[in-house]
Structure 1
Amino acid sequence: MGAQVSSPQRSDRGEVLEVHSSDNWNTQLHNSTTSNKLMVIDFSAAWCGPCKFIEPAVHDLAVEFSDVDFIKIDIDELPDVAKDFEVKAMPTFVLVKKGKERERIVGVKKDELHRLIEKHRF
């Protein structure tokens, strides 16, 4: 299976990239280590109600913060990545810069996520 990236909800300026393969994830993570750009990883699952609830807000944040990379990972598709980040509940948002975790949020906390993106984006 080749690397797959889809972006089903493209907006005017921002987008959330859905990563479906380990190869693609490794590329995204490597790119993060060589960039000063903030990456927000949204760990979710298709069956997760709270994940579906916050999804529109995440897309809105991607539009607002077009200078930030938003990555969505389904824990059932890429369980090893979820394990590497010690994801224990969903949704979990991990903020990564220069390849290192800066902060994380567990749960549907749009205002807190917004605040942390503001804090770490520059």
Structure 2
Amino acid sequence: MKKSHTFYLLLAVILISACQSGTAPANQTESASHGHDNASTAPTPRVPAFFSSPTAANPLPPVLDPAQFDNPVVSKAYEFARANREIFAQQPCYCYCDDGFGHRSLLDCFATDHSAG
């Protein structure tokens, strides 16, 4: 019985110290906030093209037939895109194919074999 209590106590100490390791000590937080903006200075990544509504995407491009792909994962992805064209039209594609291929949303990736990768 004592061994299980020791185990759980040790586990609790490890979890608490793991949770605390990601936080800054109070004195560092206070000194860092005096006269400085704590917002990140890293640039915000560009959001690729997408439609804000399904009607803005009309006419929706057709999705390729999922049966033409041998890879079951790719086939399932095309099947899902075909069943959810309006949703895919409202999603940006983060391979940034709007620049290189002129795609207007994630749906355009599934109108070609571009998503078969």
Smaller-chain TM-score bracket: under 0.3
Q: Which has the higher strand share?
A: 1
Q: Which has the higher helix share?
A: 2
Provide TM-score, normalisation by structure 1: 0.22
